Amino acid sequence: MKLEELRDQLHYQPISLGIVALVASTALSVAYSATKDHIAAAELHDMQMSLAQVMPKGFADNDLLQDTVTLTGAKGQPVKVHVAKKAGAATGAVFQVAERGYAGDIVVLMAVDADGKVLGARVLKHTETPGLGDKIEIAKAPWIESFSGKSLGDPAPERWGVKKDNGVFDQFAGATITPRAVVKAVKGGLEFFAAHRAEILDGGKS
Partner 1 sequence: MSDTNYGTIVKDGLWDNNVVFAQMLALCPTMAVTTSGTNGLGMGLATTAVLVVSNILVSAIRATVSPQVRIPVFVVLIATLVTLVDLGLNAWMHDLYKVLGLFIALIVVNCAILGRAEAFASGAGVLPSAVDGIAMGLGFTFALTFVGLIREFLGTGTLFAQASQLLGPAFAFLEMKPLPDYGGALLMILPPGGFAVLGFLLAGKRLLEMRQQKSTVAATEPQPA
Which chain residues interact with partner 1 by CB under 8 A? Answer: 3, 7-8, 12-14, 16-17, 20-21, 24, 27-28, 31-32, 34-35, 38-39, 42, 45-46, 129-132, 139, 173-174
User: Between 105 and 191, whose beta carbon lies closer to partner 1?
Assistant: 105
Is 106 within 8 Å of 182 (Cβ atoms)? Answer: yes
Q: Indicate the SS3 state at residue 98.
A: strand
User: Between 28 and 156, whose beta carbon lies closer to partner 1?
Assistant: 28
CB of 73 to partner 1, least distance (A): 27
95, exposed or middle or buried, with CB in 10 Å at 0-12, 13-18, 19+? buried
CB of 116 to partner 1, least distance (A): 32
CB of 66 to partner 1, least distance (A): 22
Q: Indicate the SS3 state at residue 97.
A: strand
**Rounded to 5°, angle at Cα 184 from 178 and 185:** 90
CA distance 154 to 114: 15
User: Between 35 and 70, whose beta carbon lies closer to partner 1?
Assistant: 35
CA distances (Å), origin 87, targets 84, 149, 202? 10, 23, 15
CB of 157 to partner 1, least distance (A): 32
User: Between 23 and 194, whose beta carbon lies closer to partner 1?
Assistant: 23
